Structure 1
């Protein structure tokens, strides 16, 4: 029987024979694949010619076969040189913000910032005297660009727009005007001017006023100081002295209580709201008779509508904002 020691020796001898044969084959392969030199009698290895990304028509004519165009096709472009290979190898995006989440917004922000840096030294309008323009809301802009623009980021854009709008209109550059046109609303509410109140053939001036949920329509005509509200006299319709004074406050401030008659129809809301709506309408109609009274009426506060409304009671509260006593503890 063969001993284990003899069997192991035979295995090692066979393995060494295979390893030596592999090393000889690898050396032979390296010798055949080695880079030839000039001393070996072979042609030296030369580097490939550089790629020409542009070529003229003469070179294309030399490379064109007799029967037609080359495999690359006819040269593109109108000029003598065309970037054929370059246009195929790399396609540049139309915008540097192409790979951002909001490319159109980023382009608008960069363009407006560049305009602001360029024209920031131009004279500006005094505070509050810039042209009144209604800009697009956040929802309108977001739906227009179709991008997930946050409201805070759009507010940053609006700050630059309003700063550019403060440039004096006489020195406003054309490119700034063109850039701001994109952010204007289609309908401008500031361009809507109310119809002028005129005195008709019967000597009447009609005006309307509102306060909270109350509305009033008033006719003012020269007379003896009579006031009628919904077919009743002023004292019969308004029980409180404060409401009666509010209704004719415009006539009292201008000292015209005994020179004009007032016919008013009012509806909605309470007595206080109806009285103040009559006051606003009376002041408007009075200016149709005497436009010079506008400064007095404006100082008296009769030409400004009070937009305040009653805040309704909330669930779980005693009033609009008053909390129960047990919550305060």
Structure 2
């Protein structure tokens, strides 16, 4: 505490009612004690009762000083778990036998090229998010508003933990909070589509917004779409040729009957979705056709989608004419 002489020498007039702040460096609590007193009276350190001062609790985590404490705490926890079990991870660089490892292998290739999950194929993106809670559901459960990038960052770390085999109990308890289904069912791939007891092969094809369910069985070559023959459903020749193209490549025209249900998109999207479903079903009947169909690009979904319209523009890429005056 500065004495009256020191205050006077530094230009402070001994006037009553002056507000002076006293700070004691030795106090456990670094806060300012304000008191109104007359400078004519001398106050010492003992005049302040510090018994009621309680030391401030320190934050448990350094993320206390960040803008999103909950999200950053989860990221820190996941990074700690990955670092703790890094030796036990089924790393995709060494093994790609597991479904999760194959997925991470594809994402690592995208990452090396400078792309993220949002730039991946729709099928890979669906497989990436399917085991976990949806973006809005997880945000509600955590009590925060998650952005899409933050959501993908969480799932990326969780997928690394899913590569653990066997998974430790502490990791299983942590990961279970984010899962949309039981961990016991994860890793078990959905029932592999095979030829059933009636001789039918089932497959699904997608293109743009179209989705086609295809049942293929040995027969006389009839193709029915939504209960209609191929020629009645597609009036134009181009989509009809797209549907039968996989059968032509496999030299199987007139050998299989095809029943399908298709919805969404237009004729182009539906015809290409049907072609993908037929090609997948053919491989189920004869696995030897896989290399031949794959060489023609018939077993891979075309990921291209319609580009969205932009705000302030008439179309996706069209611009309004610029007028100087």
**8 Å contact kept, 1:238–1:271:** no
Cα distance 1:195–1:121, how it changes in 2: closer, same or farther (>3 A)? closer
Is 1:125 matched with 2:91? yes
Aligned to 2:316: 320
Q: In 2, Cα distance between the equivalents of 1:299 and 1:206?
A: 22
Question: CA separation of 1:300/1:95 partners in 2, compared to 1, >3 Å: closer, same or farther?
Answer: same
2:266 aligned with 1:270: yes
Q: Note the C-alpha offset of 1:327.
A: 6.9
Match of residue 141 from structure 2: 144
What's the CA shift string for 1:199-230, capped at 9, x where partnerless? 454x5545554433445454533345454556
CA 1:116–1:297: 2 relative to 1, 3 Å: same
Deviating more after overlay: 145-154 vs 289-298: 145-154
Q: Deviations over 1:90-141 (max 9, x none)?
A: 7968945696576655554444444444444555411465456744566545
Counterpart check, 1:222 vs 2:218: yes
CA contact (8 A) 1:97 1:103 kept: no
Residue in 2 that maps onto 1:301: 297
Select the structure of larger CA radius of gyration. Answer: 1
Separation in structure 2 between the aligned mates of residue 163 and residue 319 of structure 1, nearest angstrom: 41
Contact kept, 8 Å, 2:216 with 2:281, in 1: the verdict is yes
Is 1:244 the counterpart of 2:240? The answer is yes
Identify unmatched segments of 5+ residues in structure 1: 1-88
Q: CA deviation at 1:288?
A: 4.3
Note the aligned Cα RMSD (angstroms): 4.7
**Which deviates the most, 152-161 or 295-304?**
152-161
Gaps of 5+ in 2: 1-53, 104-127
Provide the C-alpha distance between the structure 2 equivalents of 1:255 and 1:214, rounded to a whole number of angstroms: 26
Is contact 2:136–2:146 with CA below 8 Å preserved after alignment? Answer: no
CA distance in 1, matches of 2:58, 2:285: 66
Partner of 1:67: none
1:3-52 Cα offsets, whole Å, 9 max, x none, are: xxxxxxxxxxxxxxxxxxxxxxxxxxxxxxxxxxxxxxxxxxxxxxxxxx
Verify the 8 A CA contact 2:63 2:73 in the aligned structure 1: no
- Encode CA deviations 1:242-287: one digit per residue, 9 max, x unaligned: 4333111221222212422445565654332232132123224334
Matched, 1:281 2:277: yes
Structure 1 residue aligned with 2:174, among 175, 179, 190? 179
Contact between 2:193 and 2:203, CA under 8 Å: does it hold in 1?
no
Contact 1:97 1:106 in 2 (8 A): no
Task: Compare the two structures and name the one with the higher helix fraction.
Answer: 1
Of 262, 266, 290, 2:286 maps to 290
The verdict on how the C-alpha distance between 1:210 and 1:155 changes in structure 2, with shifts beyond 3 A counting, is: closer
